[in-house]
Amino acid sequence: MAETLLQVNGLSFAWPGQPRLFHQLDVQLRRGEVLAVLGPNGCGKSTLMQLLLGILPLQQGQMTQRCGMGFVPQYFTPPFAYKVIDIVLMGRARHIGLFRSPSANDHRLAKEALYALQMLEFAEWEFGRLSGGQRQLVLIARALSMACEVLILDEPTSALDLHHQDRVLTMIDQLAHERQMAVIFSTHQPNHAYAVADSALLLGAEGRHQLGSCHEILTAENLSPLFHLPIERISVPFAGNQRETLVPLYRSQREHNRG
């Protein structure tokens, strides 16, 4: 059995005067596993990530972390016109030390991270010149340069076109299965979770949650009431095989079809 890198037991959290976001939540993440976190706006996805990263203190529960953790935010706007290589080198900060400059080894690791994401050719570009998808890949490279073993991504595909969504999802799959990292990512897209995750955590109202394998958890019976929208799992032929995915049935589409 793969090594457990992150374990959470009995996690509960509520903002002052607000209903609890989760109650008695248990999560175990092993090397090479991908966990997708889904739920409507305000259900606690970002709060959970801040708790896992230690940005917020635990109110109740215990967490065991056996390795370094990297974080890729949903949005990142640097205060200055940094080059791409400088953004990635920021991931080496805890290894460099205060008032010291990045070493040749730090530069090597930063370039290796960019190369792994096919972004090395943009190393000297200004970060602000990149597209949204390219920026997201650079932020993943920054996390990789930390030499972390757990990677947490906050809605990494939310502002990307379909091509770059596919690139980011493919990279998540490769990091887990080729580098044996553990990956947690939040998303509003059940089909993204079904495409690359091993397990899914559904966060609902008043601390309710469901956790299990994607095949067991990502069903019409669970997703439709969670998002207040019919969501169906379908099978489509592709390259000689049947592939499953999840499809939302939007109100306008349902009304049009009835006509």
Q: Is residue 115 part of a domain?
A: yes
- List strand residue ranges (DSSP E) for 121-230, in order: 150-153, 182-187, 199-203, 209-213
Full domain range(s) for residue 96: 80-146
Burial (CB count within 10 angstroms: exposed 0-12, middle 13-18, buried 19+), residue 221: exposed
Q: How far is CA 73 from CA 21, 94, 205, in A?
A: 20, 18, 24
Question: Residue 196: what pLDDT?
Answer: 96
What total number of domains does the chain contain?
1
**Model pLDDT, residue 97:** 56
Q: Which two tokens stand for residue 89?
A: 């080198």
**Dihedral, CA of residue 189, residue 191, residue 192 and residue 194, to nearest 10:** 130
Tell me if 4 is assigned to some domain.
no
Q: Please state the rounded mean pLDDT for residues 168-173.
A: 91
Q: What is the pLDDT of residue 212?
A: 95
Residue 124 to residue 148: CA distance in whole angstroms: 24
pLDDT mean across residues, the chain? 88
Residue 46: strand, helix, or coil: helix
Domain contains 88: yes
pLDDT digits (tens, 9 = 90+) for 79-117: 788 899 999 988 876 656 554 667 788 888 899 889 888
- What pLDDT shows up at residue 205? 83
> Is 114 inside any structural domain?
yes
Share of residues in the chain with pLDDT > 90 (%): 54
Is residue 39 in a domain?
no
